[in-house]
């Protein structure tokens, strides 16, 4: 079945720093790829997604590009804010429509 490996945290950055959270996947066929974010005390929210190779998902300054050749979907943001502090989950969804999640990466941004 599908699987996701993402960078282990925690990650601590200063405000305005550049963020990269690595995510690689294994899957049969052509899965859709997602990044979810979980703010403290809240449920998971979809941050961005990509459904085919070379697609770039983007939202709130975050970006991730579906790289089939490297089976990766790394999350990036050019300038993080304190309000970006959260746990980020990479996920894949195959033909069964079940979501398979990575372990999550906790990000803390200090002012």
The footprint of other proteins (CB under 8 A) covers 4, 36, 41-46, 89, 97-104
Nearest to 93 by CA among 28, 43, 15: 28
CB atoms within 10 A of CB 84: 20
State the nearest-atom distance from the C-beta of 89 to other proteins, in Å.
Answer: 7
Planar angle of CA 43, 72, 106, nearest 5 degrees? 35
CA diameter of the chain = 43
State the nearest-atom distance from the C-beta of 77 to other proteins, in Å.
Answer: 21
- For residues 104 and 6, the answer to whether their CB atoms sit within 8 Å is yes
**Cβ nearer to other proteins, comparing 52 with 103:** 103
**Cβ nearer to other proteins, comparing 79 with 83:** 83
State the nearest-atom distance from the C-beta of 104 to other proteins, in Å.
Answer: 7
**Cβ nearer to other proteins, comparing 13 with 99:** 99
């Amino acid at each position: 079945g599908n699987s996701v490996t993402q960078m282990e945290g925690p990650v601590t950055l200063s405000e305005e720093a550049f963020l990269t959270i690595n995510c690689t996947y294994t899957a049969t066929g052509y899965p859709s790829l997602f990044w979810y974010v979980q703010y403290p005390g809240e449920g998971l929210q979809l941050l961005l997604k990509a459904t085919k190779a070379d697609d770039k998902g983007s939202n709130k300054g975050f970006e991730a590009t579906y790289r089939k050749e490297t089976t990766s979907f790394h999350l990036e943001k050019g300038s993080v804010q304190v309000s970006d502090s959260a746990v980020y989950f990479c996920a894949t969804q195959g033909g069964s429509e079940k979501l398979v999640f990575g372990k999550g990466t906790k990000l803390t941004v200090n002012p």
